[in-house]
Structure 1
Amino acid sequence: MCGIFACHCHPDVQKFKPTALKMGKAIRHRGPDWSGNVIANNTILVHERLSIVGVESGAQPLVNDEGTIALAVNGEIYNHRVLRKHLKTPYNFKTHSDCEVIIPLYLEHDIDAPRHLDGMFSWVLHDKTQDRVVAARDPIGVTSFYMGRSSKTPGAVYFASEMKCLHPVCDDIMTFPPGHVYDSKTDQLKRYFDPKWLIEPSSIPETPVDYKTLRTALEKSVRKRLMAEVPFGVLLSGGLDSSLVASIAQREIQRVNELAKQQRQRQNGSLDEELVGIDDDNKLTTVQMLPELHSFSIGLPGAPDTKAAEEVAKFLGTRHHSFTFTIEDGLNALSDVIYHLETYDVTTIRASTPMFLLSRKIKAMGVKMVLSGEGSDEIFGGYLYFHAAPDKKEFHEETVRRVDNLHLADCLRANKSTSAWGVEARVPFLDREFLELCMNIDPADKMITKDRIEKYILRRAFDTTDEPETKPYLPEKILWRQKEQFSDGVGYGWIDGLKDNAELHVSDEDMKNPKPEWGSDVPDTKEAYWYRCMFDEHFPTYCAGTVKRWVPTWSKQTDPSGR
């Protein structure tokens, strides 16, 4: 991940520049490799870079030959090679960066440019000729993005990867909605990601599940996310989702490397130097041999997820790194976690703390990109409360609601927990094509019954019991292992430790007298109260408008644990 900060229509942009650079520095953890900025007219773009693709030549902001277009991007464009090949007008690319293609795409498609992108992204583009800013966020909001305004600079509009570099200069901040594009010409946000399943959630899909297509789609999604020029790995909890991602990635690495070896052997018998791989058009191309896959897990001593992760890693043959943390380690990190997450949602904080600690370990090992399993539970109704769904209509509507709010929950967690240490998390389950396939499956196939465990169709798609010629993707007991909430799977003592400590920090009297500035958003537990107080230490009250707290469905349960 990278970090971006931008301001358009500032009344004195040169005077504002030192402040803008300071705001960019506030998110340098997201992009520790390089800093850049561009000023044109009354607009400034600031970029903090984490180099994953185009390492030697992809410094930002990117500018075209004429100096009329400047671009700052946070994210990855997986179809950038295909887009480059199919441009109608030749464009002089200055870098190998996957993000540079956005400039000629804007020149050809204007405000519709984001529709053509396959990836995770937040970006701000300034057109100097029109003195126009266009900003966009990926369909699901995998990358974090905010938009702000200030009563001190009427007419100015601000953008940033994180809220912490907006609230010092803005008194009105909102989450930039996923799947939308902003155009300063109209000063309006417009939805560009508009599939029927999202726009009409009450229209219930009727397409029966095709297991082979489902498997192929996820494999394709993982394959495109192996695009990197730096060491990478996979977050492996030992649950179904991360284990499948790890399995597919390992199989792809082995497949490509075997092809590479065979071709090189045919040429001169050597197995080194540049070797063959598969490009975006599924054609052979010369690329570097893919590196060994690292896998990472974390938990309290004896945690169920840790044991399962070690079993999966051994089965797959990854280079596994298993870490432990103590409850004290987690408690000590809480304030920092909330500062980086920019939320006080109980579910998100519980799950983010181990991920935050693990990301620091990963960064220390020199790994800059990891694959993760977020999104599967929302798509397939994998949370345990989905057992209580009364019918397929409500089941489907709840999956749509959960996917639509991922940017405020699991995507926020994955993005900010890793970015806090300069690590990028990629999420194959939230691939645009994969989503289109899965969200149009008849929800009756997804529902949990006495004969079907949660996420049955995903498990079944990768069950090779009836395919003796196919190597198993996972051990059977992992493939059919019941769901653990991540915050539980790292060790059941974690949640109990949080609750016990909240009792020490929040009194019964505190609960009876919440802060007046909280309005109607009053925490209903001491743990939630404690987190809200820590949030308030870092952020002004008006920033709370960007936070969404988890609310259970089909249940009177108030605790978000899945136990």
Structure 2
Amino acid sequence: MLDGMFAFVLLDTRDKSFIAARDAIGICPLYMGWGLDVFNQCSKSVTKRLMADVPFGVLLSGGLDSLLWLLLLLHGTWKKQKLPDSGENKLHTFCIGLKGSPDLKAAREVADYLGTVHHEFNFTVQEGIDALEEVIYHIETYDVTTIRASTPMFLMSRKIKSLGVKMVLSGEGSDEIFGGYLYFHKAPNKKEFHEETCRKIKSLHLYDCLRANKATSAWGVEARVPFLDKSFINVAMDIDPEWKMIRRDLGRIEKWVIRNAFDDEKRPYLPKKEQFSDGVGYSWIDGLKDHASQHVSDSMMMNASFVYPENTPTTKEGYYYRMIFEKFFPKPAARSTVPGGPSVACSTAKAVEWDAAWSKNLDPSGRAALGVHDAAYEDTPGEAPAAIDPVADNGLHQAIGESLVKPVAPATAV
């Protein structure tokens, strides 16, 4: 019956019994192990997460997820509070990226349009590399995608904390719920599409939730994620997957359902969204690969299966992160908490089967979507056809619930 973000262990000292629990998604990660040392509805989801007596803001990557919540805040809950129009009471937004990165440019445009107090942070590739060991220590993983995305978020959280902000809203979960990753272009049918979204949601606690929670918590900042509200997930996962599928012939791009629900002809169309690790600047990933190549030799890679027989790294970048992880967490139980398996453009291992060519070009970056990344929008119309009345203030529940919800098999996987 608990509804929120939490992870706890409750011990009854009378009989040494205990209860271990976490929220349904795993927004706050919870680990359980055995051994000798055993550790001696949409707008409503935003409103619920605004219950705070500390300064807060919104992580604005310049794309759909964060912009959507800003619209809800500024046109709904925020205005209802009738706060005076002063710098102290305006909504604060935050973004980080390499100088000239896509995220910074898009976020600045959105913030200027909405009139928020915007904070733009720059970092260099070298600053990110210098922080890698600290990042891996705090986020407790050697997963390549997670580390790539966690490092900028870790650096941004430090700057946010220095401004006295203690809570931020973030857009984690949208890509998983609505199939927003670029590889979803290749989903063969709505059944496969839906099953992949279920697999992605079930593993959020190992990837995006882990990143958002630990990269911010390392600096005493709390990240709240409205997309992962239980009621919101129940509504969104009851939508006929056909409406979520990417259909370029019909003008449907990634997350078309939610884009169209909040589109308004009098407002600029919602911008395209890139994955956070790519959007901060492409040279970030290239810099990481180059740095890893300087520390991992070809001979080390040839013997990787002997050194790391479990979840053997397949790239020098992965090997480099694994070395750092093992230094901090040498026990076998620790490395077993990190998922493995083939992936392309953030897919699960199952989705790799959608395209035979993917098995030869496995890379977690969105740029590895094999033609999708560069060509996805070449023939896509500028706007999707209007199938839903614009409802910027009433929320996704009404917009989709009345117009698009068609019962499908219950999403028991989530």
Q: What TM-score does the superposition give when structure 2 sets the normalisation length?
A: 0.81
Q: C-alpha displacement at 1:255, in angstroms?
A: 2.1
Secondary structure, in 3 states, of the residue corresponding to 1:519?
Answer: coil
Aligned AA for 2:339?
Answer: K
Q: In the TM superposition, what are the counterparts of 1:131-530 in structure 2 within 5 Å?
A: 131-151=16-36, 157-158=38-39, 217-258=41-82, 291-450=89-248, 451-465=251-265, 472=267, 475-476=268-269, 479=270, 481-514=271-304, 516=306, 518-530=308-320
Confirm or deny: 8 A CA contact 2:343 2:363 kept in the other structure: no
Secondary structure, in 3 states, of the residue corresponding to 1:347?
Answer: helix
Aligned AA for 1:490?
Answer: V
Q: C-alpha displacement at 1:502, in angstroms?
A: 1.1
Confirm or deny: 8 A CA contact 1:488 1:561 kept in the other structure: yes
User: What do the CA deviations read for 1:231-283 (whole angstroms, capped 9, x no partner)?
Assistant: 0001000010011112222333542232x78xxxxxxxxx9xxxxxxxxxxxx
Confirm or deny: 8 A CA contact 2:101 2:281 kept in the other structure: yes
Counterparts of 1:129 and 1:537 in 2: how far apart (Å)?
A: 39
Secondary structure, in 3 states, of the residue corresponding to 1:119?
Answer: coil
Q: C-alpha displacement at 1:145, in angstroms?
A: 1.5
Percent of residue pairs identical: 60
Counterparts of 1:515 and 1:384 in 2: how far apart (Å)?
A: 31
Confirm or deny: 8 A CA contact 1:375 1:429 kept in the other structure: yes
Counterparts of 2:306 and 2:32 in 1: how far apart (Å)?
A: 26
| Residues 510 and 220 of structure 1: CA distance in aligned 2, closer, same or farther (over 3 Å) | same
Counterparts of 2:217 and 2:76 in 1: how far apart (Å)?
A: 26
Q: In the TM superposition, what are the counterparts of 1:88-99 in structure 2 within 5 Å?
A: none
Bigger RCO of structures 1 and 2 (CA < 8 A, at least 6 apart): 2
Q: C-alpha displacement at 1:123, in angstroms?
A: 1.4
| Residues 291 and 252 of structure 1: CA distance in aligned 2, closer, same or farther (over 3 Å) | farther
1:535 to 320, 325, 328: 325
Counterparts of 1:426 and 1:249 in 2: how far apart (Å)?
A: 14
User: What do the CA deviations read for 1:321-370 (whole angstroms, capped 9, x no partner)?
Assistant: 00100000000001111111110111101111100000000000010000
Counterparts of 1:520 and 1:492 in 2: how far apart (Å)?
A: 30
Counterparts of 1:431 and 1:131 in 2: how far apart (Å)?
A: 33
Counterparts of 1:126 and 1:506 in 2: how far apart (Å)?
A: 45
Q: C-alpha displacement at 1:541, in angstroms?
A: 4.0
**If each structure's strand is expressed as a fraction of its own residues, which one has the higher value?**
1
Counterparts of 1:147 and 1:138 in 2: how far apart (Å)?
A: 15
Secondary structure, in 3 states, of the residue corresponding to 1:377?
Answer: helix
Confirm or deny: 8 A CA contact 1:250 1:318 kept in the other structure: no
User: What do the CA deviations read for 1:279-313 (whole angstroms, capped 9, x no partner)?
Assistant: xxxxxxxxxxx943110000000001101001111
Which residue does the alignment assign to 1:551?
Answer: 343
Counterparts of 2:198 and 2:239 in 1: how far apart (Å)?
A: 12
Counterparts of 1:131 and 1:336 in 2: how far apart (Å)?
A: 36
Q: Does 1:121 align with 2:38?
A: no
Q: C-alpha displacement at 1:127, in angstroms?
A: 3.0
Counterparts of 2:17 and 2:277 in 1: how far apart (Å)?
A: 44
Aligned AA for 1:459?
Answer: R
Which residue does the alignment assign to 1:562?
Answer: 366
> Cα RMSD between the aligned structures?
2.0
Larger radius of gyration: 1
Q: C-alpha displacement at 1:504, in angstroms?
A: 0.6
Counterparts of 1:540 and 1:389 in 2: how far apart (Å)?
A: 39
Aligned AA for 1:146?
Answer: Y
Which residue does the alignment assign to 2:373?
Answer: none
Aligned AA for 2:324?
Answer: M
Secondary structure, in 3 states, of the residue corresponding to 1:546?
Answer: coil
Q: C-alpha displacement at 1:383, in angstroms?
A: 0.3
Q: C-alpha displacement at 1:223, in angstroms?
A: 1.3
Counterparts of 2:11 and 2:132 in 1: how far apart (Å)?
A: 38
Confirm or deny: 8 A CA contact 2:179 2:244 kept in the other structure: yes
User: What do the CA deviations read for 1:381-411 (whole angstroms, capped 9, x no partner)?
Assistant: 0000000111111111100000000000000
Counterparts of 1:117 and 1:316 in 2: how far apart (Å)?
A: 34
Counterparts of 1:254 and 1:137 in 2: how far apart (Å)?
A: 29
Secondary structure, in 3 states, of the residue corresponding to 1:301?
Answer: coil
Counterparts of 1:315 and 1:504 in 2: how far apart (Å)?
A: 44
Q: Which runs of 5+ in 2 are unaligned?
A: 345-350, 368-414
> How many residues matched?
350
Confirm or deny: 8 A CA contact 1:384 1:483 kept in the other structure: no
User: What do the CA deviations read for 1:528-559 (whole angstroms, capped 9, x no partner)?
Assistant: 11111111111114111000136232232311
Counterparts of 2:126 and 2:275 in 1: how far apart (Å)?
A: 20
Q: C-alpha displacement at 1:129, in angstroms?
A: 4.5
Secondary structure, in 3 states, of the residue corresponding to 2:6?
Answer: strand
**If each structure's helix is expressed as a fraction of its own residues, which one has the higher value?**
2
Counterparts of 1:381 and 1:254 in 2: how far apart (Å)?
A: 29
Confirm or deny: 8 A CA contact 2:66 2:171 kept in the other structure: yes
